[in-house]
Structure 1
Amino acid sequence: MATAADHPACRKARPKRHLLSPICLSLALASPVIVHAEPTSSVHSVRQYNIAPGPLSQALSSFAAQAGILLSYDPKLAQGLTSPGLHGTYDIQAGFAALLAGSDLEAVGSAPDFRLQKSESMALDDILVQGNELGSITEHSGSYTTGSMSAATRLPLSIRETPQSVSVVTRKRMDDQNMTTLEDAMEQVTGVNVFYETSDQPRFYSRGFSMDKVQENGVSSSFQGSVSGMGSAEASSESADLAVYDRVEVLRGASGLTQGSGEPGGTVNLVRKAPTREFQASANLGTGSWDNHRSELDVSGPLNDDGSLRGRFVSVYQNKQSFIDYIQRERYVLFGNLAYDLTPDTTLSGGVNWQKTHSVPDLYGVPMSTDYSSLGLSRSTYLGASWNNMTYEKINGFAELTHYFNSDWKLSSNLNYTRSSSNGEFIGIFGNGTNGVGSSGTGRLNNFLARDNEGYQYGLNIDLNGAFSLLDRQHNLSTGVDYLKERYDNLFGRVINSSTVNVFDWKPSSLSKPDIPYTNRYRYDNYQRGAYLTLRVGLTDTLKLILGGRFSQFYFRSNFKNLTTDRETVAAYRENGKATSYGGLVWDFSQNLSWYASYTDIFKPQNVVGESGSVLKPLTGENYETGIKGEFFDKTLNVSAAVFHLIQENRAMSNGDPNCDNNCYVASGKVRSRGLELEASGALTSNWQVFAGYSFTRSEYRKDESNSIKAGDTYAKWFPKHLFRISTDYRFSGKLERWSLGAGLTTQSSTDSTYDVYQGGYTLYNANAAYRIGDNLTLTLVGNNLSDKKYYIPVSNRHRGGNNLYGEPRNTMLTLRWQYH
């Protein structure tokens, strides 16, 4: 086919980022062109596409070439715009619609000639409903699901294309349900239970195992409570505020390919909000139960005429009291992010996230009776000193360099640095150790304590990601390296005070604050680096094979020093050349449904020494999984059903030798977890969003580990066998079009703590309503625990003496939201 674009001058000067240069376009429009059309069969009405996300001009060029069409447009229309890419089978019109989603552009014409122009009537909501793929960014999508995520393999795949159980908490869900902290979001994820080591230190568990790692834009760091030998009270950072994030991606099951080392519970990826090419702004003012006041400001847009320099600024201030006397929290967040297009194909971005929180913590909650019954203490009971305090501060610097070689291949480099600190002084009541409190109410103080913790985390990921054709099939590849270095430096002080007190007549102001000198120093160094490769092979149009591998090196060192005696204890261990593997198969057996199966593994070094004096070999976790996934209603609704079988081996256990005197351990323990997970997320109609998730988990010891732990015993008895969450939001039409209503519930079955404290199953109900006052102004009301259920939040080591923390009673939050975009 000959066109003006085939003029020699046009071929010589043809730029990379669009099909026709301005000169060629003017030739095509201003002078007659003889078009020698190729046979109609060269224009593929329906075909398979695999176009990576990236600059819109490159994506359109790839689409036009693969579809066998001519597309003409003014390059200014596509300048600075990106496309979510295109994966799957499409006709030409549906392909254009997916590539142009959210761009306010449309393609007009008929095969083989099309022209790009500004859309005259299509709004964003129309694009999302009229049969077009969601992108990975969830802000303004109005959806409870996403079009793609890479938490499992680092390949940008849809949920259906990913052969593991994954979930996402989108920006809309966060706003609808007033989620402001990471634990708020994780409490609404299928199969995940949030446990609290202390009242302000949550940990996340899936399938009975912890999630040791968290990513920010794909760069890993440790959840501090998971660092070997490091207690949760030594953590220098608190949970992240969600105001700066677009979405939370969650992978359940072993994640050795992306994380290297850790428990087989899964991982979390937080994706930051990015600067936008169009100006947008929002401001929220909220007030709620127990004097909970929160304000947010979010401004984003271009900083020069052509939009090559863009910026985003987010700020948060929150002052919140509590249903518990004396407990309060004051939080500040400042976030700035800049992005600059060094060239049309290369973007450098970077910024800073600062978060600081002053709080009065609830140390141990309330004790129980010696017979495990409740003492009848009210939910407002505070059993600490009036001067108890804790301050957390975090400053996170990040940078990202992204280069698109073409519409198929992208190189990205992400750097993350976090310095965190926490310090506080406090005292609380424990009910006579773990024995509980008798009818007289007599308990004991648990000493004056002081903490000064610091953490330094450096993370780097370099990733090459792209698609290629081989043997008339489309394939995908991701390969890269990552690096993690962490240091924690913690001071601890204690002044003994175990005086007898009465929990029924406790006065928080009765204790004066003493000088608490630091007596111990704890240092931890954690180092890991690795290289990985993931290959997605298109065996047929409907069958995809994913193979991956990772090679990791790990080093850990701990240093405990008594500052009074100068006695020092040092322990170190390393793993060189540890390999992890990944395998997955996805079969699209119908237009909307796929079957998948996968194998993943992970390792975790131990700090336990055996009788020989050597550190035991690492724990290993293996995850086997199979299930069905589906996409419906133009891929705006995702559904999945999975069964899993997870094994962890090499657990430290007694060697059974009666003549052993020291370090009587051997790496022979084995645990198995099996279960079922069901999930649906996304749109039932254009104005009805839903999320629902159910999990059944059963874990047990497969070998005797001690005199008290026998094969067949429940392993994670504090993890609920049954977990169910559902939430929905419906936007009315017609005369009620300004209204939206939502409702939901979370329910779980009964559990036992490691100290055999029973928690019955319970259900929490919530609801939300929104009224659009005008085009830019909305008033929202969120209510939680509407039935005012009295329960204890999940704490694995609850006992009669303490760590019994009441969950929040019925509460509401009223927020005025202003948005411009």
Structure 2
Amino acid sequence: MKKTTQSETNTIPALQKPISKKLKAAFLLSASLIISYPYSSVVQADTQQSQQVQVFNIASGDLSRVLRQFASKAKITLSFDPALVSGKQSRGLKGQYSIEAGLQQLLEGQSLQVITIDGESYRIENRSSSNEVELPKVSVSGDYIDETGLGPVSGYVAKRSITAAKADIPLIETPQAVNVVTADEIEIHNAESLNQVLQYTPGVVPMGADNTTSDGMIIRGFNVTGSSPIYLNGSKLPRNTFSGVSEPYAMERIEVLKGPASVLYGNAAPGGIVNMVSKLPETETKRELKVQAGSFDRRQLAGDFTGALTDDGSLSYRFTGLYRDSDTMTDHVPDDRKFGQFSLRWQPSEDTSLTLLANYQHNETVFVYGLPSQGTVEHNINGHIDRDLFVGEPDFNKFDTRNQTLGYLFSHHINDALTFRQNVIYYNAETDYNDIYIGSLDSSQRLLSRGAYIRHDENRTFTIDNQFEAKWDWGNTEHTTLVGMDYEKNQFERIQYSGNVAALDIYNPVYGSTVLMSNSPARSTAESSKKLGLYAQEHLKIADKWVIMLGGRYDNFKSDTDNKLTGTSSNNDDHAYTGRAGLVYLFDNGFASYVSYSESFEPVLGQGASGVSFKPTEGQQYEAGLRFQPEGAPYSVSASVYKLTQKNVSTTDLVNPKFLVQEGEVESKGFELEAKASLNQWNFTAAYAYIDNEVTKSNNGSEGNRTNNVPRNMASFWTDYQFVNVLKGLGAGAGIRYIGETYNIANTVEAPGYTVVDAVVNYSLSPEWKLALNINNLFDKRYATCSYACFYGVERSATLTASYNW
């Protein structure tokens, strides 16, 4: 092809530089492909449009991907046979180009030509082709998104993730279960908490109904609440359980890695981890405002703004904010929030990127301590306890949290094979917490004994993760080698006072009782810990069929706890080795089968009667699975079976009852199934989980007990549809969630299983305006779960949202 000069095209030439080998074209179809960009007004086909100059900033890479990005940006219809571009690379496009000149530049060096059909339709053929053949068309709806592990997903079906491997690899090549909830799903459900985001995810069970003070949850039968299970953009967010909660509106996607994850992330509960991917800057300008009103006097204003700050797109920003003034189902419990998140990305070249992130969150609410089992899930002679009952004192209770997060994501391609990444997070939080806890009911089953405490927490953490990633080929093998070092420093201080308050008649509550607090603290502690981890991982792909993943890690961790009341201190200095091995086989028809083994550890503070510090708990998982996700298909199905065991679990020392011994063991065996699809205007998700969980070893007679709040069966289904013909602009969706019976901590109280239905109706008034009505618990099902106390599920609630996008 003749090289087009700048004077002939009135363009700025694209950067000329070598590119690294990429994965083969990722959207191969047996038929031809058409890429359509939807927009509100009809563009007249004329020669003027083809000659209009636009600014493009498309990275080099697979030619099929680059062409799709160009078509989306240029708002044209582009058709071609995928076989023509299969395996071909493009240098990308950066600068000002007309449509025809841009296409010619993208095809430079290829034996391909551009055929202009009209001002908005083009076709790519071999240069030797002379037949004008109309290509069969396969429609891809919506704006095309070239998915990355740290970027947005179009629809409900994610194909890539950074969570399982700390590398941007396809999910189908991952030998461990990963569930991804996209921003589109978060929006359609109007999810207000992490628990709501994951309520249609198999094997994930929320801890109680309190979503305002903690992100507590159970994964695969293990409580992950107090074990730093939350990660942000692949880096640990080591906050205390009550130091803050997550804001889903600020997230692009939320991912759950099932099973032990210590090989890459250090200390973690055996059930798994949750990685939240922030909404990050984009060069395309997008602006959104949302106004909400709903049940419990809810009023909320939210906004999301992103775009380029420079003409070449090297500097871009994103701001996401939210203000909420709301009550909750429980009397005298507010859910007020102020949240702001700002990020700034500097990308001076394709090889270097630095993204600065900062957010601030202020929550004003009250901790919902729970209710007695008699009157919630068990019989009470006085009848059911009201779901809105508040067991505290309105002028006393509060839960006021302020937290800030600062950090950055840095990436630099040293050469075509080697990349260095460094991720940093600093987290600071303060919590003022006044609470009234409950005791037992008297013989009348009306009067509930109560106690009180005041607590102030300060939480400061710092994490840094350094990674070197090498992509290299040898023969018919493709390698992604990762080595890294991460460091974590935590400081946590707590001072707590105890108090007394009169009993409460739960069937005729009268508030105003005096809360008498002690003058001296009941507890004053300062805890500090340091953790250093070294890890290595190899992702090996052989002949495009076999994938082998091997990883190993060494951790050293130290902790000190100072008791400021007694002047005593204790410390722990230990280490752990963990590993993971997995094997995947990729079939030609889109199926992939895998087997894997993985390990985890969690430090345990304290000492036994002999004065010897406790050993870390150890998690081990064997897993086998099957995925189905054909290339380019907008749907996926995954199934997995697993056996997960936690050892060194603490139980009571029968010889010295004031101490503990590590003689316990808990085991979960299960099966999980998930299906997702985004087919034009129709989306759906379906999930099922079977969890056979029990204590397998104990010295106190608890063998056979189930972990509290763990159902044996759970299932869910959600579907939504957007009408395009007679009822154009109207959309509707509904979902059903089933959780089987569960038990409290002592396994003495059974909470019956329940089924809840959710629904949504939305209507697009114009391309900019949209209304949505979400109704949770449509049929107002009364249900509860129990742990140390019992918690009602949220009654029927509705939220009306008006969105404006421009």
SS in 2 for 1:509: coil
The residue aligned with 2:567 is: 568
Aligned position for 1:228: none
Cα distance in structure 2, aligned partners of 1:513 and 1:816: 47
**1:586 alignment partner, SS class:** strand
Match of 1:805 among 768, 791, 805: 791
Tell me if the contact between 1:214 and 1:220 (Cα under 8 Å) persists in the aligned partners: yes
Residue number in structure 1 paired with 2:720: 729
Q: What is the deviation of 1:811?
A: 0.9
Q: Which residue is 2:673 aligned to?
A: 678
- Give the % identical residues: 22
Residue equivalent to 1:59? 60
Please name the residue that 1:780 is paired with.
Answer: 772
Deviation at 1:549, TM superposition (A): 1.1
Distance 2:542 2:376 in 1: 64
Cα distance change, pair 59–521 in 1 and its aligned pair in 2 (3 A): same
1:626-705 alignment runs, 5 A limit: 626-632=624-630, 634-653=632-651, 660-661=655-656, 666-683=661-678, 685-703=679-697, 705=698
Distance 1:413 1:120, change over 3 A: farther
The secondary structure found in structure 1 opposite 2:507 is helix
Render the CA deviation track for 1:497-535: whole Å, top value 9, x for unaligned: 253443333222344686866442122222211121111
Distance between the aligned counterparts of 1:516 and 1:304, measured in 2? 59
1:240 match: 246
Query: Could you list the runs of 5+ residues in structure 1 that have no partner in the other structure?
Result: 6-13, 21-43, 82-88, 226-234, 799-803
2:591 aligned to 589, 593, 614, which one? Answer: 593
Given candidates 248, 272, 285, the residue that maps to 2:291 is: 285
CA distance in 2, matches of 1:661, 1:512: 36
Q: Work out whether 1:112 is the aligned partner of 2:111.
A: yes
Structure 1 length-normalised TM: 0.82
Q: Does 1:332 align with 2:351?
A: no
Paired residues of 2:57 and 2:313 also in contact (CA < 8 A): no
Deviates more, 1:112-121 or 1:159-168: 112-121
Rounded to whole Å, the distance in 1 between the matches of 2:536 and 2:238 is 22
Alignment of 1:350-499 (within 5 A): 350-365=356-371, 368=374, 372-374=378-380, 375-387=383-395, 388-406=397-415, 409-428=418-437, 430-432=438-440, 436-439=441-444, 441-447=446-452, 449-495=453-499, 497-499=500-502
Quote the Cα distance in structure 2 between the aligned partners of 1:278 and 1:446.
55
Post-superposition Cα deviations, 1:199-238, rounded to whole Å, max 9, x if no partner, equal 732412111113332111111133523xxxxxxxxx3x22
Distance 1:282 1:664, change over 3 A: closer
On the 8 A contact 1:138/1:172 being kept in 2, the answer is: no
Q: 1:667 to 1:377 in 2, by over 3 A?
A: closer
Q: Which residue of 1 aligns with 2:268?
A: 262
Q: 1:709 aligns with which of 702, 721, 727?
A: 702
Q: Which stretch shows the higher mean deviation, 315-324 or 609-618?
A: 609-618
Question: TM-score scaled by structure 2?
Answer: 0.83
Aligned counterpart in structure 1 of residue 223 of structure 2, from 195, 210, 220: 210
CA distance in structure 1 between the partners assigned to 2:687 and 2:428 by the alignment: 36
Residue 505 of structure 1 aligns with which residue?
508
Query: Which residue number corresponds to residue 156 of structure 2?
Result: 144
**Post-superposition offset of 1:797:** 1.7
Distance (Å, rounded) in 1 between the aligned partners of 2:525 and 2:476: 58
Whole-angstrom distance in 1 between the partners of 2:115 and 2:343:
32
Does residue 761 of structure 1 match 2:721?
A: no
In structure 2, relative to structure 1, the CA distance for the partners of 1:345 and 1:109 (3 Å cut) is: closer
> How far 1:650 sits from its partner (Å)?
2.3
Q: Find out whether 1:720 has 2:711 as its counterpart.
A: yes
Verify the 8 A CA contact 2:391 2:504 in the aligned structure 1: no
Residue 235 of structure 2 aligns with which residue? Answer: 219
Q: Which amino acid aligns with 1:453?
A: D
The AA in structure 1 aligned to 2:218 is: Y
Name the CA distance, whole Å, in 1 between partners of 2:572 and 2:107. Answer: 64
How far did residue 557 of structure 1 move? Answer: 2.1
* d(CA) in 1 for partners of 2:375, 2:193: 33
- Is the contact made by 2:476 and 2:542 (CA closer than 8 Å) also made in structure 1? no
* CA distance, structure 1, for counterparts of residue 67 and residue 374 of structure 2: 75
Supply the AA of the counterpart residue of 1:393: R
Distance 2:377 2:779 in 1: 28
Contact 2:589 2:630 in 1 (8 A): no
Alignment-mate amino acid for residue 766 of structure 1: D
CA distance change for structure 1 residues 568 and 98 in 2, over 3 Å: closer, same or farther?
Answer: farther
What SS does structure 1 have at the residue aligned with 2:512? helix
SS of the equivalent of 2:249 reads helix
User: For residue 169 of structure 2, what is the amino acid of its counterpart?
Assistant: L
Quick one: distance in 2 between partners of 1:149 and 1:652? 35
Q: 1:790 aligns with which of 775, 782, 794?
A: 782
Aligned partners of 1:195, 1:486: CA distance in 2, in Å?
25
Change in 2 beyond 3 A, CA 1:348/1:378: same
Aligned equivalents of 1:509, 1:611: Cα separation in 2:
45
* Distance in 1 (alpha carbons) for counterparts of 2:333 and 2:504: 20
Look up the match of 2:741: 750
- Equivalence for 2:612: 614
Match of 1:161 in 2: 173
Q: Distance in 2 between matches of 1:747 and 1:57?
A: 45
Aligned to 2:193: 181
Amino acid at match of 2:574: E
Compared CA separation, residues 147 and 580, structure 1 to 2 (3 A): same
Contact 1:367 1:431 (C-alpha < 8 Å) held by counterparts: no
**Cα RMSD over matched residues?**
3.8
Paired letter, 1:759: A
CA change 1:531–1:137 in 2 (3 A) is: closer
Higher mean alpha-carbon deviation, 498-507 vs 614-623, is at: 498-507
Residue 94 of structure 1 deviates from its aligned partner by 5.9
- The alignment partner of 2:196 has SS state of helix
Amino acid across the alignment from 1:696: Y
Letter in 2 for 1:591: N
Give the 3 Å change call, closer, same or farther, for CA 661–694 of structure 1 in structure 2. closer
Number of aligned pairs? 732
**Which residue in 1 is equivalent to 2:40?**
none
1:272 Cα offset (Å): 0.8
| C-alpha separation in 1, matches of 2:414 and 2:141 | 29
Distance 2:82 2:167 in 1: 21
Separation of aligned partners in 1, 2:631 and 2:731? 21
Which residue of the partner structure matches residue 536 of structure 2? 533
Q: How big is the shift at 1:663?
A: 7.2
**Counterparts of 2:612 and 2:518, CA distance in 1:** 42
Please list the CA deviations of residues 736-788 of structure 1 after superposition, one character each: whole Å capped at 9, or x if unmatched. Answer: 22111111111111011013221100011001111000011110111110110
Cα distance change, pair 292–144 in 1 and its aligned pair in 2 (3 A): same
Q: Distance in 2 between matches of 1:97 and 1:742?
A: 41
- For 1:647-702, what per-residue CA distance to the aligned partner results, in whole angstroms no more than 9, with x for missing partners? 2222234676xxx457765434322211100001232x211111111110112233
2:789 counterpart of 1:817: no
Q: 1:774 to 1:533 in 2, by over 3 A?
A: same
Choose the corresponding residue for 1:274, options 280, 298, 316. 280
Structure 2 CA distance for partners of 1:717 and 1:451, relative to 1, 3 Å: closer
